[in-house]
């Protein structure tokens, strides 16, 4: 009895006597008597086995497609292999990546794009526009894409033109007066003997300079012919003409001209004029400008008489590029005075031979409504010369 009481005093539930009023809840084990091994069992370890390697048959199939070198076959075989072997997608992708690095995909043929690209590469605006219009007509489904390429080409061409114009303008602004001159020299000669002994020489030079606000032109021409001891042709002309740009087409001009032609009856003749002009046509391959203003003329005749008068001048300058090698020019002026009218005209056809060398056939006419006694009203001269541009 004493031992039982001692166990009860220790509060051991295995030997406690339940009372009549004990709770109906199930008995809870004493934590001190719980087996730690049974209460915290060791979990079983899960071992994950690696997938088997890609089968040799699949690898051989992929390698065979790669060896064939057909992109479509390789892509198809790889796609099927990945579907059938989902555990080896990474390995299959590695094989495909190695193939692609050695065989980059070939872009599909694009004849329309290639044709348009070739036209754009030529840099010829007319060809690009013609090819673009034809491409849009024959491929309406690609019209938007083609137009986008044309718009980009036009923008780039305009940018380059603006840059070139700005650079040229800056160069002109920095240039000295003696710089940026362009010109040409011409020479022709005749020699005959026998029934007619004749020697003739025609030579001339023309210079031109374009600036930001001012343009300048200088021309000199000499024609001489000796036939059977007589001199039927002896004409010299020097002309200087500065022009000031008022606008893109309008300009103001000044003109100074010195002439000598004893056959026409005068030792020297001076013409000074100033006025305004306008470029009626000014485009590539074709130009036409008109000018006019008051003028003053001083003539010293071979007879010793002198004449001076206020006149009016009207002139034109025409140029037409007939072909890449042929150019037609016409320069004419008419001076109207109180007692007479005088017209000078020079028509020339230039044929490019090679490089800066060309041949020129020129026809000049001097028309005087009131010439000195013994002088014809119309005097003409035809020249065939070689011209060198510089």
Lowest mean pLDDT among 30-44, 267-281, 303-317: 30-44
Per-residue confidence band for 18, with pLDDT thresholds at 50, 70 and 90: very low
Q: Quick: pLDDT tens for 253-284.
A: 999 999 999 888 889 999 999 999 999 999 99
Average pLDDT over every residue of 328-349: 94
What is the number of structural domains in the chain?
Answer: 3
Average pLDDT over every residue of 79-99: 87
Average pLDDT over every residue of 53-71: 85
User: Rounded to the nearest 10 degrees, how much is the dihedral formed by the CA atoms of 206, 207, 212, 214?
Assistant: -70
Average pLDDT over every residue of 47-60: 79
Longest CA pairwise span in the chain (Å): 182
Pairwise CA distance, residues 243 & 293, whole Å = 13
Q: In this predicted structure, what is the pLDDT of residue 26?
A: 52
Q: Quick: pLDDT tens for 124-178.
A: 999 999 999 999 998 899 899 999 999 999 999 999 999 998 998 888 888 888 8
Per-residue confidence band for 107, with pLDDT thresholds at 50, 70 and 90: low
For 345, other C-beta atoms within 10 Å of its C-beta total: 16
Residue 28 lies in a domain: no
Q: In this predicted structure, what is the pLDDT of residue 361?
A: 96
Pairwise CA distance, residues 114 & 92, whole Å = 36
Cα 313 off chain centre by? 41
Per-residue confidence band for 115, with pLDDT thresholds at 50, 70 and 90: confident
Pairwise CA distance, residues 146 & 141, whole Å = 10
Q: Are residues 185 and 307 in the same domain?
A: yes
Residue 272 lies in a domain: yes
318 or 57: whose pLDDT is higher?
A: 318
Q: Identify the CA nearest to 105 among candidates 73, 69, 71, 74.
A: 71
Residue 157 lies in a domain: yes
Q: Are residues 321 and 288 in the same domain?
A: yes
User: The tokens of 368 are what?
Assistant: 């005087």
Residue 362 lies in a domain: yes
Per-residue confidence band for 298, with pLDDT thresholds at 50, 70 and 90: very high
Q: Are residues 363 and 269 in the same domain?
A: yes
Q: Is the pLDDT of residue 289 over 90?
A: yes
Asked if 236 and 218 count as a contact pair (C-beta separation under 8 A), the reply is: no
For 110, other C-beta atoms within 10 Å of its C-beta total: 11
Q: Are residues 318 and 202 in the same domain?
A: yes
Residue 20 lies in a domain: no
Long-range (24+ apart) CB contacts under 8 A made by 268-273 are 268/298, 268/299, 268/300, 269/297, 269/298, 269/299, 269/300, 270/296, 270/297, 270/298, 270/299, 271/295, 271/296, 271/297, 271/313, 271/335, 272/296, 272/297, 273/313
Residue 285 lies in a domain: yes
Q: Are residues 157 and 282 in the same domain?
A: no
Q: Are residues 191 and 79 in the same domain?
A: no
Q: Are residues 166 and 194 in the same domain?
A: no
Q: In this predicted structure, what is the pLDDT of residue 327?
A: 97
Q: Is the pLDDT of residue 77 over 70?
A: yes
Per-residue confidence band for 1, with pLDDT thresholds at 50, 70 and 90: very low
Q: Are strands 181-192 and 378-389 parallel, antiparallel or unpaired?
A: antiparallel
Residue 15 lies in a domain: no
Q: Are residues 222 and 91 in the same domain?
A: no
**Which of 102, 130, 158 delimits the end of a domain?**
102
Q: In this predicted structure, what is the pLDDT of residue 14?
A: 43
Q: At what angle do helices 111-122 and 143-174 cross, to 10 degrees?
A: 10
Per-residue confidence band for 375, with pLDDT thresholds at 50, 70 and 90: confident
**Which of 83, 102, 121 delimits the end of a domain?**
102
Q: Which domain holds residue 121?
A: 111-174
Q: Is the pLDDT of residue 22 over 80?
A: no
Q: Are residues 240 and 364 in the same domain?
A: yes
Q: What mean pLDDT is reported for the chain? A: 85
Q: Is the pLDDT of residue 21 over 50?
A: no
Pairwise CA distance, residues 250 & 289, whole Å = 9
Lowest mean pLDDT among 38-47, 116-125, 264-273: 38-47
Residue 345 lies in a domain: yes
Q: Are residues 189 and 166 in the same domain?
A: no
Q: Are residues 145 and 232 in the same domain?
A: no
Pairwise CA distance, residues 344 & 206, whole Å = 17
Lowest mean pLDDT among 108-112, 219-223, 288-292: 108-112
Lowest mean pLDDT among 10-24, 64-78, 267-281: 10-24
Share of the chain above pLDDT 90, in %: 50
Q: Are residues 201 and 306 in the same domain?
A: yes
Cα 274 off chain centre by? 39
Pairwise CA distance, residues 12 & 33, whole Å = 10
**Which of 40, 73, 102 delimits the end of a domain?**
102
Kindly report the CATH number assigned to the domain that includes residue 309: 2.40.160.40
Lowest mean pLDDT among 12-21, 272-281, 324-333: 12-21
Cα 352 off chain centre by? 25
């Amino acid at each position: 009895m004493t031992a039982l009481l001692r166990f009860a005093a220790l509060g051991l539930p295995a030997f406690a006597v339940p009372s009549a009023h004990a709770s109906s809840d199930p008995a809870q084990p004493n934590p001190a008597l719980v087996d730690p091994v049974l209460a915290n069992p060791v979990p079983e370890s899960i071992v994950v086995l690696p997938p088997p390697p890609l089968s040799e048959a699949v690898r051989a199939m992929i390698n065979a497609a790669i060896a064939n070198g057909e992109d479509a076959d390789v892509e198809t075989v790889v796609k099927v292999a990945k579907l059938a072997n989902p555990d080896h997608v990474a390995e299959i992708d590695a094989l495909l990546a190695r193939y692609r690095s050695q065989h980059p995909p070939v872009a599909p043929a694009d004849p329309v794009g290639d044709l348009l690209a070739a036209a754009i590469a030529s840099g010829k605006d007319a060809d690009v526009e013609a090819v673009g219009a034809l491409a849009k007509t024959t491929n309406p489904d690609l019209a938007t894409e083609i137009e986008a390429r044309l718009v980009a080409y036009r923008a780039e061409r305009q940018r380059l033109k603006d840059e070139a114009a700005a650079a040229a303008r800056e160069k002109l602004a920095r240039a000295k007066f003696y710089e940026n001159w362009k010109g040409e020299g011409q020479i022709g000669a005749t020699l005959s003997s026998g029934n007619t002994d004749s020697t003739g020489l025609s030579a001339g030079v023309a210079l031109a300079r374009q600036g930001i606000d001012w343009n300048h032109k200088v021309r000199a021409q000499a024609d001489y012919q000796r036939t059977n001891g007589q001199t039927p042709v002896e004409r010299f002309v020097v002309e200087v003409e500065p022009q000031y740009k008022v606008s893109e087409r309008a300009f103001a001009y000044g003109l100074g001209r010195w002439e000598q032609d004893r056959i026409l009856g005068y030792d020297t003749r001076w013409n000074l004029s100033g006025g305004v002009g306008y470029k009626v046509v000014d485009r590539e391959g074709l130009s036409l400008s008109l000018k006019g203003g008051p003028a003053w003329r001083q003539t010293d005749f071979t007879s010793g008489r002198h004449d001076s008068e206020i006149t009016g001048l009207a002139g034109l300058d025409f140029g037409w590029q007939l072909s890449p090698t042929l150019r037609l020019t016409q320069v004419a002026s008419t001076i109207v005075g109180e007692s007479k009218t005088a017209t000078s005209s020079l028509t020339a056809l230039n044929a490019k031979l090679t490089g800066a060398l060309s041949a020129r056939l020129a026809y000049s006419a001097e028309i005087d409504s009131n010439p000195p006694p013994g002088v014809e009203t119309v005097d003409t001269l035809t020249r065939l010369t070689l011209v060198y541009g510089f």
